[in-house]
Amino acid sequence: MMEELEIRLAAFQWLAERETMNRGVYSGRELGEGFLYKGKRITLKGQTGIWFPQGFSIPISITTRLNGPYMLDSFGMDGTLTYAYRGTDPNHRDNRGLRAAMQLRTPLIYFNEIHDHLYQAAWPLIIIEDDPGRLCVGALMEPAYNDLRPGFPVDETIESPLDVRRYVTVQAKRRLHQNAFRELVIHAYDEHCAICSLHHSELLDAAHIIADIEEEGIPVISNGLSLCKIHHAAYDQNFIGIDQDYQVHVRADILQERDGPMLRHGLQDLNGWRLNLPIRRRDKPDQERLAMRFEQFIEF
């Protein structure tokens, strides 16, 4: 069991290192291939949502798939992740594995599919409750486990207070949603800026049409625009506006300024341009939201 824990900690480190390179989005292929630990390959996910690497007695990860059969998987208002059993038999080996993880306070990884074979990850997650009647478990992030080191037993780690675990889980949920919004929006625009067509994803953001703090500002592709960082900032600061016919407008005082080539070519020359739109109709910017946001631009 101690070796399993050390492998889990190595998995957490591997995910963290990958996260710095992939903006927090992992391919199903790399998770299926996993990593080497002392010459042994450790797979992090597989065909089943509750995944045991070879030789493991407790799962290393749980996965929620797009359009999967388990509609119960979701984060509650208090942050708790409800995760469905496999099938309807509480004593299925996979479900017993979740129960054992709860009893032994074993940290898991949670993978959430945001696009075909693309996943986000959250860890360390612990099972806090088992509900055979509803065929599910409840889980929360455990920040105390961030300090676990090889050779240090889990049962000697002092658990974080429940409200802290709930808070950290809510923050993790928010981060997952924000990252998913960015990836889905940029993917919809084929990794181009909708205004200038810049094709370097490292320099692209998902800009909200209606801010996420407002009621209409839900994180869906039609409320987003793939913009390079300069045009995202210009849009947020109302240097430029976009009307419901997808036309770009530059604020009058900006048009009158005299500065270097960046102002002239990067902003002023955009006046009257039309957006480069996603191919799929459902991914195009919502015209009602654009009209609402354009009114703010006009009034600025």
Domain co-membership, 198 together with 292: yes
**Domain count of the fold of the chain:** 2
Predicted confidence at residue 91, as pLDDT, reads 96
Predicted confidence at residue 111, as pLDDT, reads 96
Return the number of other C-beta atoms located less than 10 Å from residue 27's C-beta: 13
**pLDDT (tens digit per residue) in 246-296:** 999 999 999 999 888 888 989 999 999 999 999 999 999 999 999 999 999
Domain co-membership, 142 together with 6: yes
Predicted confidence at residue 116, as pLDDT, reads 84
Residue 132: give its domain's CATH number: 2.30.280
Predicted confidence at residue 82, as pLDDT, reads 94
Domain co-membership, 42 together with 103: yes
Residue 179 within a domain: no
Domain co-membership, 157 together with 202: no
| Mean pLDDT, contiguous 10-residue spans, the chain (300 residues) | 83 92 89 95 95 95 81 77 95 97 95 90 95 95 82 73 87 83 92 96 94 84 96 97 97 92 91 95 95 93
Q: Identify the CA nearest to 198 among candidates 250, 259, 270.
A: 270
Residue 294 within a domain: yes
- Asked if 244 and 285 touch (Cβ cutoff 8 Å), the reply is no
Domain co-membership, 108 together with 224: no
**Domain extent at residue 34:** 2-146+153-161
Distance (Å, rounded) from C-alpha 116 to C-alpha 197? 24
Q: How far is CA 43 from the centre of its chain?
A: 21
Domain co-membership, 139 together with 209: no
Residue 176 within a domain: no
Global pTM? 0.78
Domain co-membership, 137 together with 198: no
Domain co-membership, 194 together with 123: no
Domain co-membership, 141 together with 253: no
**pLDDT (tens digit per residue) in 50-84:** 999 999 999 999 999 887 665 567 888 788 999 99
Domain co-membership, 111 together with 17: yes
Domain co-membership, 157 together with 8: yes
Residue 166 within a domain: no
What is the full DSSP assignment across the chain?
Answer: -HHHHHHHHHHHHHHHHHHHHHTT-EEHHHHHH-EEETTEEE----SSSEE--TT-SS-SEEEE-TT-S-TT-EE-TTSPEEEEPSSS-TTSHHHHHHHHHHHHT--EEEEEEEETTEEEEEEEEEEEEEETTTTEEEEEE-GGGGG--TT--GGGSPPPPHHHHHHHHHHHHHHHHHHHHHHHHHHHTTT--TTT----GGGEEEEESS-TTSTT--S-GGGEEEEEHHHHHHHHTTSEEE-TTSBEEE-HHHHH----HHHHHHTGGGTT-BPPPPSSGGGSPPHHHHHHHHHHHHH-
Residue 56 within a domain: yes
Q: Is 193 exposed, middle or buried (0-12, 13-18, 19+ CB in 10 A)?
A: buried
